[in-house]
Structure 1
Amino acid sequence: MFDILMYLFENYIHSEAEVMVDHDILTDELTRAGFHQDEIYKALAWLEKLAALQDTDSYPYFSREASRSFRIYTEDESQILDQECRGFLMFLEQVNVLDFTTREMVIDRVMELDTKYFTIDDLKWVVLMVLFNVPGKESAYSQMEDLIFDEQEGPLH
């Protein structure tokens, strides 16, 4: 499913191509590209849920106190998001790429991926997808793009 999300992000969203494509046409194109139909439906549902997160008050408890809080990960979250991924999320908050809400959106979307193997590179792409879909986060998206495409040698700090 993650491969499909990457394909869609690179070919439609990131390239600024027409995003409002008919689901049937998109499903046919993805099938021709070699993806399985059940994975296509899962990926499209994942994207729909991402879009729905910005339309609801999914995280109503945001406050100044929440921005200074410490995130405790559940056991399931820790299974998918290893120490390196969790540290990277904390780093992104410290440099103001993510805030409380976008961090929770990223974690929500990661947990909905149907994968056993999740890397920090996968996390970076999920962060990009989330930031792209949240109005007003253009600067954070640009920062994240710089972090991905202009990677420096050695540690970030």
Structure 2
Amino acid sequence: MFDILMYLYESYWHPEACPEFGQLTRKLSAAGFENDDIHEALDWLRGLDSAVGGLGTQQQQSPHAIRLYAQQELDCLGLEAIGYLNFLETAGVLKPHLRELTIERALATGMQPLPLEHLKTIVLMIFWRLDEEPDALILDELFVEADDRVVH
């Protein structure tokens, strides 16, 4: 599923350029992706579309609020991913409502624990679906493996 999500991110710079799901299914199949993976990815995207549609109803969060994680969220995300979400939020990249959307979409994968690289893909897909581009340094953080970084 995550290979398909990255393929979409890299192939369609804006979500409006992405074809409707019927045509997209055929294109992904022609690109060599398995049907089960295609359907899983498209179901996940439908869930993202539905969740993005509900963003207008989000309430403002106090800047002094502290996010407590339920056990199910801890099991799915793990401490590394929670730390990463905190980093993005502290950097001003991920607003509280986008953090909640990220957590919801992470839980929707059903993976426990969710690898950090998959969480990064989820964050990228949320920005992509909202047609927003994060700061270049954050994009680098989302794409480059920690082991591949060059320290200056």
Q: Deviations over 1:82-119 (max 9, x none)?
A: 11110111111111011110101111111111434522
Match of 1:35 in 2: 33
1:1-157 equivalent positions in 2, closer than 5 A: 1-13=1-13, 16=14, 19-57=17-55, 60-63=58-61, 65=62, 67-134=63-130, 137-138=132-133, 140=134, 142-149=136-143, 152=149
TM, length-normalised to structure 1: 0.77
Higher relative contact order (CA 8 A, sep 6+): 2
Q: Which amino acid aligns with 2:39?
A: Y
Q: Deviations over 1:29-56 (max 9, x none)?
A: 2223333323312211211221232222
**TM-fit CA distance, 1:59:** 5.5
CA contact (8 A) 2:44 2:108 kept: yes
Contact 2:105 2:122 in 1 (8 A): yes
Partners of 1:74 and 1:59 in 2: CA distance: 22
Taking structure 2 as the reference length, the TM-score comes to 0.79
Give the direction of change, closer, same or farther, for the CA distance of 1:2–1:58 in structure 2 (3 Å limit): farther
Distance of aligned partners of 1:59 and 1:104 in 2 relative to their CA distance in 1, 3 Å threshold = farther
Structure 2: runs of 5+ lacking an equivalent = none
**Pair 1:26–1:149, CA change in 2 (3 A):** closer
User: In 2 relative to 1, CA 142–54 (structure 1 residues): closer, same or farther, beyond 3 Å?
Assistant: farther
Aligned length: 148
Percent identical pairs in the alignment equals 32
In 1, Cα distance between the equivalents of 2:50 and 2:15? 21
Checking the alignment, whether the CA contact within 8 Å between 1:59 and 1:101 is kept in structure 2 is no
What is the distance in 2 between the residues matched to 1:57 and 1:149? 26
Q: Helix, strand or coil: the match of 2:109?
A: coil
Q: Which has the higher helix share?
A: 2
